[in-house]
Amino acid sequence: MTASRRWAVVAAALLLALAGMVALLLVRGGGSSASGRVAATSSAAPSSASTSSATSSSARSSSATSSSARPPATPEVVFIGDSWTVGSGATGSHGFAPLAAEGLSWDYHLLGIGGSGYLMPGGGGPYMGRVGEAVALHPDLIVVAGSLNDSRADLGRLYEATANTLMRLREEAAETTAILVVGAPNSPWTTPSVIERINQDIAAAADAAGVTFVDPVKENWTDPADPAIWADELHPNDVGHQRVADALAPLMQEALDRDRDR
């Protein structure tokens, strides 16, 4: 073999070796690149802890949204009273109490007993006997209405009986329960001076108990001389009950709002 031929063979061998080394380097470079992409993907993916935290945060946000979207509870009122509270004189005995509550879209409970008052027992005992039942209902408002029936009792005992009833009611009811006291109304059957005396005692007792009083006579809720509002000499008809409800409803709302602002 000539020298030139040997150099040609050596050159060819060197070229083949060089090509193999280049190919090997290219293969190693591709593997490193793939590993880098995996690392980047792993770094971008959230850890299980952060996923849990994000989920928990999302749940709290959802809970807060649900809580803020929840409508407020419907106010509840309890009425303690006499035959007017029962609804005597109104169609289906649907008198001023349910009419006032329904006008405000409130729930209500009626604890009325015909013939009763702070002194008069009527058919089931005076108002004091219903204090516990009213308080146990945990209402937002308690309305104590009347009573013209006490005009047949010993009025010398009225202030004490009324004060004891209202003080017990205020002491036993929740602080969040508002109390509204409505005095005795006039009717064709009553004597104005006697009703005035009754309402003076009820007003004084309400003041001593720290509860709100309204005089329906001074506010002219029921005119004894208006025949259009009376079912009989003692009880209003549908028109009369509606007039009382229309006068009472805004006072109920005011009493509730005032109590909530305390």
| Active-site annotation, residues | 83, 232, 235
Distance CA 156, CA 175 (A): 31
**E strand or H helix at 19:** helix 3-44
Euclidean distance between CA atoms 185 and 204, whole angstroms: 17
- Nearest CA among 233, 256, 230, 255 for reference residue 243: 230
Provide the residue count of the chain. 262
Under 8 Å between Cβ of 76 and 108: yes
Phi, psi of 121 (to 5 degrees): -80, -25
Of 180, 185, 193, 97, the residue nearest 149 (C-alpha): 185
Q: Is 230 left (phi over 0), alpha (psi -120 to 50) or beta?
A: beta
Q: 102 near 133, Cβ under 8 Å?
A: no
